[in-house]
Chain A
Amino acid sequence: MKVTAALPSGVSALFFDSARQRRGLEENLVELLEGCGYGEVVLPILDYLEPYEPLLSTGARGELYRFIDRDGEQLALRADFTPMLARLLAPRLPSMELPLRFFYRGDVVRYHEERPGRQRESYQMGAELLGVEGESAEQEIFELFLSMLTTCGLPDVRVVLGFAGSLGGLATACVGDDGAADFLAAIDRRERRILQGLDGPPGKAVREVLEDGLPQDLEALGSEMAESIRAVANLREDLQHRFPEFQLNIDLAEFAGVSRPDDGFRSTSARSYYDGLLFRAYCAGGAQPVGGGGRYDSLFRSLGAKVAAVGFSLSMERVLAVPETLQRAGRLCGGVTP
C-alpha cells in the first residue's frame, strides 16, 4: 500500500500549534473543574457491547463501532462517556460516599455520514454530579457549564434550555397517543403545517412553542410539566443575571425529539437517556452546538441504582473551531495563533 498522509473521514490529527492550543485550553478547563471540587476519571476506549444493549436507542446503535474480538466477545469503541460511567459506577455506588463530582476528557468514536461538525472521532470534556437531589444539582452543573464556556472565550453564546418529554402531553392532547411521536418530530423541525386544524388553547400553545419555544400558558403542558418548566425558568433567570454576556432562552421545540425513557414515545435523539433539564449551547458562526447536557437519573435507575445524576459535555473540536477560542487558547498556552 502506498504510504500517504490521508486519514479516514471525520478523523483529524493535531500537530504542534494546534495540539498546544487544545492542551492549553484543556488545562484551563481542568483547573476550573478541579477548583470546583471535580476529580478526574479516566475511562477505557474499548468496552463490552452487551451491558449497553438495553440502553441503546436506534440512533445510538447506528453510531457504534462494534466488532467481535479474537476471543469471541462483542466489543464496542466508546461512543459516549455517560453510559459507560453509569455502568461502571452503578454497582459501586452503595459503597461510595455521595455526592460524587467528577470530570472526564477523551475521544468518543461514532459513525456519522459526512455532516457539518460531525467528526467520527471527537474529543470531549465533560463533568457529572451524582447524588445531589433537586434543583441545586442542576444549578451547580449548569453554572459550571456556563463557566466552562466563559473560560473558552466563545463569542455570542446562546444557551437553549428545555426539559425532556415536555411536549408529550401537549402532543397527545392535539393528536392522541398514536400520532404523538410523528407530531413531536414535526415540532422538532418546526413544521407549521401541524397547526392546520388545531384550534383553541392546544393550537395556540403549539404555535407559541414553534415560534417562541414556550407556551404563554404553561398549564397547556400539563400541571406537573408546567411546574418543571417554571423551575427551569427560575434557573434561567438566576443564571442569566450571573452570566449577562450569554443569552439564555427556554425553547422546548429545540428538544422535542428527546422524550423521557418512560414516556412511551420513540426518542429521535441518539442520547435518549435524559429525563429532566436539558441544555445546549450555540455560538456565533457555529451550525452545531458546542456542548450540552442535562439530568439523567433514569439511566442509573435502568442499571439498578437510585441516584440523582446531572452532567454535560463540551466538544473540543467545535469549541476550537471558533476563531475567538483559538486566539484565546493561543494566548493561554503562549503558542502562536494562526
Chain B
Amino acid sequence: MIRMALPKGRNLVSAKAAFRRAGLSLEVLERDERKLILTSPEDDLELLLLKDWDVPRYVQYGIADCGIVGTDVLEELDGDLLVPVCLLEGRCRLSFIGGEGAWPEPGSQVRLATKYPGIARKVLIEQPWGAEILELSGSIELAPLLELADLALDIVQTGRTLTENHLYELKVVREIAPCLVVNRASFQEHRGPLNDLIRRLEAAGVVE
C-alpha cells in the first residue's frame, strides 16, 4: 500500500479533484474523523494530511512514499525528490507585490517581506536593485500595506486580496503548480502502483 501525503492548504482541493477524476475515491477524506493516518482501502492508499511545508519533508524522509506539493515549496526546500507530473488545476503565481508605484528604482535598496527567502535570494540577483529580506510566516501582504516592508514576494491566486487592499501584482517571478512528488527509494519499491497512479492521472487529463 502506498502512503501519500496531502496538503491541508490551498492545494488540497485541486489534489482531491484531480485524483477523483483519475478514478480514486478518497471518500475517507470526507469523514469527520480525527485520525492522523487515514486508510483508503478502495484506493489501496494510506493518507497523511499535513501542512503544505511538511509534505516534502515527510516524502524526502521516506515516511510518505509520495505527496502533493507546490513548486514554490519544492524550490524553497530544495529537496532531492522525483517530480513526475504537475496538476493542471490549482496553479498560481509567485509575484512581487506592492503599492502603486512601489517598484524600486535601479540602485535602490528596499525591504522585501516573504516566506520564500531562498527563492527571493535567487530572484534578487536578477534585479537592478537590492533588498533586505524579511522572513515572515504568514499574512505577507500585510507587510507592504502597513509599511513593514516596501515589497512582498508571495503567492497570488486570483488577485482579489490584493485588489481589496489597494495592492498590485508588480512582477510575476514564477508560475506555480501543485505537483506529485515521489521519494526515490519508494519509486524503486512501489514502481508498479506509482506508475499506475501517474498513468491514471495522465489518462484523466488532469496533469502535465
Contact = CB atoms under 8 A, between A and B. Distances in A.
Q: What DSSP secondary structure best describes chain A's contact surface?
A: loop
B83 interface: yes
12 contacts: A116-B60, A189-B84, A190-B84, A212-B191, A212-B195, A254-B188, A282-B189, A284-B189, A287-B62, A287-B183, A287-B184, A287-B185
Interface of A: 113, 115-116, 156, 158, 160, 189-193, 196, 210-212, 249, 251, 254, 282, 284-289
B204 to A, nearest CB: 14
Contacts of B207: 192
B208 A115 contact: no
Contacts, number: 60
Given A115-B60, A192-B202, 17 more contacts: A115-B79, A116-B61, A116-B62, A158-B189, A160-B188, A189-B81, A191-B84, A192-B84, A193-B85, A196-B208, A251-B188, A254-B188, A282-B184, A285-B62, A286-B185, A287-B62, A289-B185
B78 interface: yes
Given A286-B62, A287-B60, A287-B183, A115 B188 contact: no
A293 to B, nearest CB: 17
Interface residues of B, number: 26
B205 to A, nearest CB: 13
Interface in B81-108: 81-86
Contact of A210 (B62, B80, B81, B84): B84
A189 B185 contact: no
Interface string B171-208: 00000000000111111110100010010001000011
B70 to A, nearest CB: 16
A201 to B, nearest CB: 20
A249 B198 contact: no
Contacts of A288: 185
Given A190-B84, A287-B183, A113 B189 contact: no
Nearest to B182: A190
Nearest to B61: A116
Interface of B: 60-62, 78-86, 182-189, 191, 195, 198, 202, 207-208
Contacts of A254: 184, 188
A115 B79 CA distance: 8
Contacts of A284: 189
A192 B184 contact: no
Contacts of A286: 62, 185
B188 A249 contact: yes
Given A115-B80, A254-B184, A287-B183, A193 B208 contact: yes
B67 to A, nearest CB: 13
A294 to B, nearest CB: 17
Question: Which residue, A212, A286, A288, A289, has most C-beta atoms of chain B within 10 A?
Answer: A288
B83 A189 contact: yes
A192 B188 contact: no
Which A-B residue pairs are the 5 nearest by beta carbons?
A287-B62, A282-B185, A116-B61, A190-B82, A158-B188
Contacts of B83: 189-191
Contacts of A191: 83-85
A282 B187 CA distance: 11
